[in-house]
Amino acid sequence: MHGQARPRTHRRGQGLARRHDLPAPYDRRPDRKGRPMSFVTTSDGTRIFYKDWGTGRPVVLSHGWPLNSDSWEAQQLFLAENGFRVIAHDRRGHGRSTQTWHGNEMDTYADDLAALIEQLDLREVTLVGFSTGGGEITRYIGRHGTSRVAQAVLVSAVPPLMVRRDDNPDGVPIEVFDGLRAGSLADRSQLYRDLADGPFFGHNRDGVEVSEGIRRAFWLQSMASGHRNAYESIAAFSATDFRGDLATFDVPTLVVHGDDDQVVPLAVGGRASAALVKGAELIVYPGAPHGITDTHKEQLGNDLLTFLKGYEA
């Protein structure tokens, strides 16, 4: 071996040391006792994974169904590089959080978000929710108020109420959601591929090109969700009535929605929510599909940054 590089040997404890030196998104902000952490634990023992990037006034990003916090990575990186502390978590049953049997509904999602905000002691937070995440932050404000909240943003979001009912005649027919449930039970892997290749990114429209990478990332994140969790979440995002929650909003609110959203139509989602929140600003992206966090990432990042910088304590 003389004159040659010696082979590396694994030493006891080396693996632990290396875990503390992992690159983003697994860098961990220490807790109050200086211990690195990337989970908070809720009152029922559920572990909620989160990523915590940057420094400054906090922004919390809530993801859509059946994805996880990775779906926010473009906006999280952009906002963190522009002077904000940006936190994105995996909802229970999704990504790296616990796949619980129970609690796959909006009240619990909102309480989990409250646990994250309180355990990280976040104040003057801007809450940003995409699709189902928009329901999560809306129910959070309805249940926990805005004492820690400075602003709210709804992006392609499911409120006020998706499903068609007698008191919501313009909603989406229940058969659409029954079809999602049937597809999830029959072959959810194929269901997610069909969504990514079709309406989610508007790929079923003439002339629309979305990268194979984006579509595969959608499938990969979706398959990381729990089967039961993702199945029950269909009812959570489609049948929860957020109209009462929206009426409690008392912070500056931005609503962003594409006018070719085939998952949450503009009239059912963004336009209806903006009408229920006093003083809300509505930005409509012409021709944009549901998944604007990917298809319109630059435009969305700039609109979020402009709104964030408009806040005055």
Within the chain, residue ranges assigned H as helices are 14-19, 73-80, 106-119, 132-144, 174-197, 212-223, 227-239, 243-246, 270-276, 292-295, 297-309
**CA 121 to mean position of chain CA atoms:** 20
Strand 84-89, strand 47-53: pairing: antiparallel
Query: Phi and psi (nearest 5°) for 256?
Result: -125, 130
Per-residue b/e over 65-89, b at no fewer than 16 CB within 10 Å? bbbbbbbbbebbbbbbebebbbbbb
Active-site hit among 62, 131, 184, 222: 131
In the residue annotation, 261 being an active-site residue is answered as yes
**CA 81 to mean position of chain CA atoms:** 19
* Residue 52, beta-bridge partner list: 87
Q: Is 197 exposed, middle or buried (0-12, 13-18, 19+ CB in 10 A)?
A: middle
* Residue 44: other Cβ atoms inside 10 A: 14
For helices 132-144 and 106-119, what crossing angle results, to 10°?
70
Give the integer Cα–Cα distance in Å for 132 and 154: 10
Active-site hit among 70, 111, 112, 261: 261
In the residue annotation, 131 being an active-site residue is answered as yes
In the residue annotation, 197 being an active-site residue is answered as no
DSSP 139-204: HHHHHH-STTEEEEEEES---S--B-BTTBTTSB-HHHHHHHHHHHHHHHHHHHHHHHHTTTTTTT
Active-site hit among 63, 94, 203, 290: 290
Helix (H/G/I), strand (E/B), else coil: 58: strand
Query: Phi and psi (nearest 5°) for 191?
Result: -55, -45
- Annotated catalytic sites, by residue? 131, 261, 290
